[in-house]
C-alpha cells in the first residue's frame, strides 16, 4: 500500500488539475497554450530529476531520498496554490516534479526484492493499484474545480503528500544496500547502461508505448473543450478512460508475466496500444468521431500501456541488477523526457480547425515505434540465443 500511494501521488500530480486548465487560463488571464505547458514542463523536469534520483538513492538509500522528496513536493504545492501569475505557477509546477522520487524508488524497491519475471509481476500489481489514482483523479479534479475552484486540486495534493510522508516514515524500510560510491562514481556507471542494446530496447519500448499516453495528456484537454465542447466536470469523467484500461493491463501483467514472459507481454501490449489508436482514427475518418469514440478507444491504449510498461521496466532494471536505482531513474527519464516533448508537440499541433486528427496521428506514430523497439529486442535475443 505504501508503494501504491507513492507511485499514485506521482501520477496524480500529473493529471488531477487537467480539467481545470480552461478556468486556470481565465484566472491568470493568459493564453491557454501557456497553461498547457504545465504538463510538458512537469514531465521535462520530472525526467531530468529521475537521472539524479537513481544514483542518489543507490548511494544514500531509498528511504531518505523519498522522505526529503515528499517534503519538497509539499512546499512546491503550496507555491502553486498562492502563485500570483502564470509564470510563478509554472515555476512551482516544475518544482513539484520532485515527486518523481515516489515512482522511481517504488519501482527500484520492487526490483531490490525480486528477480526479473517476478519483479514484472509485482510491478504489475503495484501499478494496477496506482492506476486507480489517475483514473479517478481527473474526475475528482473536475468536480473540485466546479465546487471550490482550481486551487482545491492542489490542496488535495498537499494533503496526500503529507499522508505519504507519514506513511513512508512509519512503514518504508530500507530495501537497498548503500553502494558506498560518490555521486560522481555513480554517474560514471551510466555508460554501462547506455551502451547496453537491451537497456535501450526496453527503455524505448516503454518510452514509445507511454508516449502515446503523454501525447494524449497534452492534447486531450484541448480536444475535449474546444472540439467536443465539454465542461470540466464531464471532461473529468471521460478523461480517465485510459486509466480504466491501464488498470486492466496491469492486472494482466500481474497475472501472466511470469507465465508468458516479459518480451511477449511487451509486444502484445504495444500492439494493443496501436489497435486502440487505429480504431479511434478510423472512426474520425469515417465521420463518426465524437467524445464516446475518442475516449472509449483510449481504453485500449491504457490496456496496452498496462501490459507493456511494467514488463519493459522490469526488463530495463534487470539488464544490470546492481544498478537498479540508476536504471530506474534513467529509464524513467527516457520515458518522461520523450513524454514531455510529445505532450508539448500535441498541444502545439492542435487548433479548433484541425480537430483531433493531428493528436491521433502523433499517437499512432509513437505506438508503431514502440512495436518496432521490442521486436528489435526479441530478434536480437533470438540471434544471440538468449
Domains of the chain and CATH, by start: 2-384 (1.20.1250.20)
Q: Which region among 86-95, 109-118, 174-183 has the lowest average model confidence (pLDDT)?
A: 174-183
Q: What pLDDT does 128 receive?
A: 59
Q: How far apart are the first and last CA of the chain?
A: 35
Q: What pLDDT does 80 receive?
A: 93
Rounded average pLDDT over 201-226: 86
DSSP letter for 195, please: T
Contact 227, 356 (CB under 8 A): yes
Q: Which three cell numbers stand for residue 142?
A: 473536475
Cell 520532485 sits at which residue? 98
Q: What pLDDT does 37 receive?
A: 83
Q: What is the pLDDT of residues 349-367, one digit of tens each?
A: 877 778 889 999 999 999 9
Q: Which region among 91-105, 243-257, 258-272 has the lowest average model confidence (pLDDT)?
A: 243-257
Cell 506521482 sits at which residue? 10
Q: What pLDDT does 93 receive?
A: 93
Q: What pLDDT does 214 receive?
A: 83
Q: What is the pLDDT of residues 21-71, one digit of tens each?
A: 888 888 998 887 788 788 888 888 888 887 788 777 777 778 888 899 999
Q: What pLDDT does 183 receive?
A: 62
Of residues 115 and 327, more confidently modeled: 327
CA distance 11 to 135: 10
DSSP letter for 190, please: H
Q: How confident is the model at residue 373 (pLDDT cuts 50, 70, 90)?
A: very high
Q: Which region among 52-61, 191-200, 276-285 has the lowest average model confidence (pLDDT)?
A: 52-61
Q: What pLDDT does 130 receive?
A: 59
| Dihedral of the alpha carbons of 305, 307, 309, 310, in degrees to the nearest 10 | 150
Q: How confident is the model at residue 146 (pLDDT cuts 50, 70, 90)?
A: confident
Q: How confident is the model at residue 2 (pLDDT cuts 50, 70, 90)?
A: confident
Q: Which three cell numbers stand for residue 19?
A: 480539467
CA distance 257 to 261: 5
Phi and psi dihedrals of 262, rounded to 5? -60, -50
- Kindly state the percentage of the chain with pLDDT values over 90: 27
Q: What pLDDT does 96 receive?
A: 93
Q: Does the pLDDT of residue 129 top 60, yes or no?
A: no
Q: How confident is the model at residue 73 (pLDDT cuts 50, 70, 90)?
A: very high
Q: Which three cell numbers stand for residue 109?
A: 524497491
Q: What pLDDT does 383 receive?
A: 85
DSSP secondary structure string for all residues of 62-105: HHHHHHHHHHHHHHHHHHHHH-SSHHHHHHHHHHGGGGHHHHHH
Residue-averaged pLDDT of the chain = 83
Contact 343, 218 (CB under 8 A): yes
Q: How confident is the model at residue 178 (pLDDT cuts 50, 70, 90)?
A: low
Rounded average pLDDT over 157-161: 93
Q: What pLDDT does 171 receive?
A: 82
**Furthest-apart CA pair in the chain: how many Å?**
61
Q: 10 Å Cβ neighbour count for 61?
A: 18
Contact 138, 18 (CB under 8 A): yes
Q: Does the pLDDT of residue 244 top 70, yes or no?
A: yes
**Total-model pTM:** 0.72
For 317-348, b where at least 16 C-beta lie within 10 A, e where not — what string? bbbbeebbbbbbbbbbbbbbbbbbbbbbbbbe
Q: Which residues contact 8 (CB under 8 A, 6 or more apart)?
A: 129, 130, 132, 133, 134
Q: What pLDDT does 75 receive?
A: 96
Amino acid at each position: 500500500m505504501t508503494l501504491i500511494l507513492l507511485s499514485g501521488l506521482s501520477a496524480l500530480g500529473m493529471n488531477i488539475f487537467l480539467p481545470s486548465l480552461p478556468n486556470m487560463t481565465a484566472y491568470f488571464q493568459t493564453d491557454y497554450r501557456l497553461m498547457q505547458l504545465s504538463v510538458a514542463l512537469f514531465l521535462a523536469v520530472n525526467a531530468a530529476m529521475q537521472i539524479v534520483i537513481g544514483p542518489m538513492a543507490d548511494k544514500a538509500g531509498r528511504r531518505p531520498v523519498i522522505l526529503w522528496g515528499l517534503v519538497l513536493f509539499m512546499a512546491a504545492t503550496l507555491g502553486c496554490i498562492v502563485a500570483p501569475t502564470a509564470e510563478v505557477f509554472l515555476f512551482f509546477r516544475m518544482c513539484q516534479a520532485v515527486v518523481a522520487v515516489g515512482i522511481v524508488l517504488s519501482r527500484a524497491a520492487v526490483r531490490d526484492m525480486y528477480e526479473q519475471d517476478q519483479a514484472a509481476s509485482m510491478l504489475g500489481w503495484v501499478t494496477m493499484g496506482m492506476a486507480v489514482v489517475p483514473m479517478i483523479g481527473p474526475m475528482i479534479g473536475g468536480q473540485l474545480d466546479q465546487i471550490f475552484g482550481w486551487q482545491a486540486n492542489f490542496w488535495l495534493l498537499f494533503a496526500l503528500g503529507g499522508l505519504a510522508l507519514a506513511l513512508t516514515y512509519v512503514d518504508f524500510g530500507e530495501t537497498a544496500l548503500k553502494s558506498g560510491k560518490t555521486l560522481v562514481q555513480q554517474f560514471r556507471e551510466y555508460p554501462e547502461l547506455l551502451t547496453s542494446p537491451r537497456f535501450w530496447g526496453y527503455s524505448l519500448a516503454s518510452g514509445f508505448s507511454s508516449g502515446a499516453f503523454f501525447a494524449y495528456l497534452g492534447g486531450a484537454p484541448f480536444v475535449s473543450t474546444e472540439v467536443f465542447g465539454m465542461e470540466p466536470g464531464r471532461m473529468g469523467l471521460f478523461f480517465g478512460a485510459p486509466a480504466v484500461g491501464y488498470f486492466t493491463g496491469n492486472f494482466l501483467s500481474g497475472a501472466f508475466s511470469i507465465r508468458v514472459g516479459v518480451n511477449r507481454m511487451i509486444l502484445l501490449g504495444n500492439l494493443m496500444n496501436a489497435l486502440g489508436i487505429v480504431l479511434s482514427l478510423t472512426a474520425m475518418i469515417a465521420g463518426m468521431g465524437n467524445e464516446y469514440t475518442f475516449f472509449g478507444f483510449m481504453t485500449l491504449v491504457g490496456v496496452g500501456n498496462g501490459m507493456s510498461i511494467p514488463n519493459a521496466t522490469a526488463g530495463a532494471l534487470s539488464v544490470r541488477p546492481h544498478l537498479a536505482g540508476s536504471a530506474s531513474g534513467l529509464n524513467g527519464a527516457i520515458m518522461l523526457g520523450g513524454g514531455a516533448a510529445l505532450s508539448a508537440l500535441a498541444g502545439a499541433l492542435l487548433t479548433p480547425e484541425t480537430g483531433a486528427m493531428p493528436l491521433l496521428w502523433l499517437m499512432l506514430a509513437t505506438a508503431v515505434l514502440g512495436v518496432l523497439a521490442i521486436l528489435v529486442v526479441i530478434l536480437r535475443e533470438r540471434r544471440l540465443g538468449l
